[in-house]
Amino acid sequence: MSGRVDGKVAFITGAARGQGRSHAVRLAQEGADIIAVDVCKPVSGTDLIPASTPDDLAETADLVKGLGRRIVTAEVDVRDYDALKAVVDSGVEELGRLDVVVANAGIGNGGATLDQTSEQDWQTMIDINLGGVWKAAKAGVPHLISNGGGSIILTSSVGGLKAYPNTGHYVAAKHGVVGLMRAFAVELGQHSIRVNSVHPTNVDTPMFMNEGTMKLFRPDLENPTKEDFAPVAQFMHVLPIGWVEPVDISNAVLFLASDESRYVTGVTLPVDGGSLLK
Ligand SMILES: NC(=O)c1ccc[n+]([C@@H]2O[C@H](COP(=O)([O-])OP(=O)(O)OC[C@H]3O[C@@H](n4cnc5c(N)ncnc54)[C@H](O)[C@@H]3O)[C@@H](O)[C@H]2O)c1
C-alpha cells in the first residue's frame, strides 16, 4: 500500500524529541525518508526544562528505521547556518532529493514578565525561534527548487496569532514566523514551493508538560500534578481538552507535506482545540 508521502524526503529540525520526533515518525509511517537535526544539549543558561540528548536523537533514528525508512541525523544548532547547510547538503546527497522542510525547533518562554526578561533571554529566543526558522528554510530551499517544488512547514504557535501575557519574546518570535511564512510563500510560489505555518495550542511534550508550566497554571498549589492542572488548561479551549498530543500536530504537518494540500499555500493552520476563538 502506498503512503501519503511515499518517496519524499523531509528535513526536520528539533527532531530529537517532542513534536519533531513525532513528525519524523508520522512522515516515515507514510513513506518518507528523513533528515533530522537537533542541538541535543542546553541552549541557554536559563533553560527551565531538561535539554534533549544525543540518545533522544538516536531513539528518533531507531523509530524511523524500525518503520523501514532511511534517516540521516546530526547534532546541529539551528543558529548555525553553515552547519545546517552542510547537513542538508550531505543528507540530500545520501537520500537523493528534498521535498519537505519542517522548521520545528524551538525553545519555551518560561512565563517571564518584561522586567524579568534579560536582553540575553530576548536575543536567544529571537535567534532560535525566528532566526533558526529562517536558517532552516534557507538551507532547504535550493534543494526544493532543484527538485521542482516542495512544501515548507514552519512551526509557530497559537502565540503566533494572539497575544499572551508574560511571553513577549516568544509571542514576538512566533508572530515573526507568520511573517516569514507569508513572505516565503509569495517569493517561492513561482518554484512550486508551498509555505504554510502550523499553530499548536498546548502540546504534551517536555516544553509544556513540566513543573514550571504546571506552577504557572496552578500558582495556588505547592506541587501541582498533571491532574491538577488539566481543568485549568481546559479553560483555554473550546473543546473539552487541556492539551493535544504531538501526533495531532504531526497529522497537520503530514497533510501540508503531502500532495493532498497541493494548492494550499500561505495558510496559518491552528491545531488548537478552538483556543483562538477565546
Ligand atoms: N509544547 C507546546 O505546548 C507548544 C505549543 C505551541 C508551539 N510549540 C512549538 O513547537 C515546537 C516544538 O516544541 P516541542 O513541544 O516539541 O518541545 P520540546 O522541547 O519537546 O522539543 C523541542 C526540540 O527542539 C530542540 N531545539 C531547541 N533549540 C534548538 C536549537 N537551537 N537548535 C536545534 N534544536 C533545538 C530541542 O533540543 C528539542 O529537542 C517549538 O517550536 C515550540 O515553540 C510548542
pLDDT digits (tens, 9 = 90+) for 256-275: 999 999 999 999 999 999 99
Residue type, 33: D
Ligand 1 pocket, 224 CB below 6 A? Answer: no
Which of 11, 205, 272 most suits a substitution to test ligand 1, by most atoms within 8 Å of the C-beta? Answer: 205
Cα angle 257, 54, 3; round to 5:
25
Q: What pLDDT is recorded for position 89? A: 98
Ligand 1 pocket, 128 CB below 6 A? Answer: yes
- Chain centre distance of CA 249: 9
Confidence category of residue 219, pLDDT binned at 50, 70, 90:
confident
pLDDT digits (tens, 9 = 90+) for 102-120: 999 999 977 789 999 999 9
Which of 174, 207, 236 most suits a substitution to test ligand 1, by most atoms within 8 Å of the C-beta? Answer: 207
Distances from the Cα of 252 to the Cαs of 22, 81, 111, 198, 261, in angstroms?
A: 12, 27, 27, 7, 10
- Give me the DSSP letters along 36-51: EEE--S--STT-SSPP
Ligand 1 pocket, 102 CB below 6 A? Answer: no
Mean pLDDT, rounded, of the chain: 95
Ligand 1, atom 1: nearest CA belongs to which residue? 203
Instruction: State the average pLDDT over residues 33-42.
Output: 97
Helix, strand, or coil here: 79? Answer: coil
Q: Mention every residue, 6+ apart, whose C-beta is less than 8 A from residue 226.
A: 209, 214
pLDDT digits (tens, 9 = 90+) for 135-154: 999 999 999 999 999 999 99
Q: Mention every residue, 6+ apart, whose C-beta is less than 8 A from residue 93.
A: none
pLDDT of residue 44 exceeding 90: no
Helix, strand, or coil here: 196? Answer: strand
How buried is residue 148: exposed, middle or buried, by Cβ count under 10 Å (0-12/13-18/19+)?
Answer: exposed
Measure 190 CA to ligand 1 centroid, in angstroms: 31
| Closest listed residue to residue 87, CA positions, set 28, 38, 52, 131 | 38
Ligand 1 pocket, 107 CB below 6 A? Answer: yes
Instruction: State the average pLDDT over residues 228-257.
Output: 96
**Parallel, antiparallel, or unpaired for β 33-38 and 9-13?**
parallel
Which of 42-51, 98-107, 228-237: highest mean pLDDT?
98-107
Ligand 1 pocket, 203 CB below 6 A? Answer: yes
The percent of residues in the chain predicted with pLDDT above 90, rounded, is 88
**CA–CA separation, 61 vs 75, rounded Å?**
12
Query: Of these residues, 81, 164, 170, 263, which one is catalytic?
Result: 170
**CA–CA separation, 223 vs 217, rounded Å?**
11
pLDDT digits (tens, 9 = 90+) for 151-167: 999 999 999 999 998 89
pLDDT of residue 97 exceeding 60: yes
pLDDT digits (tens, 9 = 90+) for 74-96: 999 999 999 999 999 999 999 99
Q: What pLDDT is recorded for position 24? A: 99
Q: What pLDDT is recorded for position 48? A: 72
Q: What pLDDT is recorded for position 178? A: 99
pLDDT of residue 1 exceeding 70: no
pLDDT digits (tens, 9 = 90+) for 187-214: 999 999 999 999 999 999 999 998 888 8
Instruction: State the average pLDDT over residues 207-236.
Output: 89
- Indicate if 164 belongs to the active site: no
